[in-house]
Amino acid sequence: MQQAQKQQLPASLQKIVGAFQIVPDPMARYKQLLFYAAKLPKMAAEDHVPENKVEGCVSQVWVKPELRDDGRVYWTADSDSQLTKGLAALLVLGLSGCTPQEVLTVQPSFIEMLGLKQSLTPSRNNGFLNMLLKMQRLTLELVAASEA
């Protein structure tokens, strides 16, 4: 079932999930997450603004989309928490270059495949879920703006 779910994800995100699934040990998976964090391109200081801020996270997280002429969305992100930044990096790498439709159809439950024990219950502590939902909302807004 996980395999079927995985295949519904954008190819770039599937690749990341695969990279986590071959790591057996939880600490090694966290290490991998931190490598993703390190790879995340720096977000411009002027993009750390309230419009880009993910509300409801204990750590501070910002995400910013850009709808390019190719009709695809490209992301930048940042966080003051390293692990949250790693999760942001997964989403930035996995969802950059996706069509808005692809972004909007990503089910939050894919995070369970990463083996990082991320909860999917909405709460003030749930960085990942809030981040994905924010990215999907920003995508919708971009689409609406481009159609208008």
Annotated catalytic sites, by residue?
57
Q: Quick check: 74 binds another protein (CB under 8 A)? A: no
With respect to another protein, which residue has the nearer C-beta, 103 or 116? 116
Q: What is the 3-state secondary structure (H, E, C) of the chain?
A: CHHHHHHCCCHHHHHHHHHHHCCCCHHHHHHHHHHHHHHCCCCCHHHCCHHHECCCCCCCEEEEEEECCCCCEEEEEEECCHHHHHHHHHHHHHHCCECHHHHHCCCHHHHHHHCCCCCCCCCCCCHHHHHHHHHHHHHHHHHHHHHC
Binding mask 85-114 for another protein (x = CB under 8 A): ------------------------------
In the complex, the smallest distance separating the C-beta of residue 116 from another protein, rounded to whole angstroms, is: 9
We find the least distance from the C-beta atom of residue 70 to another protein, in angstroms, to be: 34
Q: What residues make contact with another protein under the rule CB under 8 A?
A: 26-27, 30-31, 34-35, 37-38, 58-60, 80-84, 117, 124-125, 127
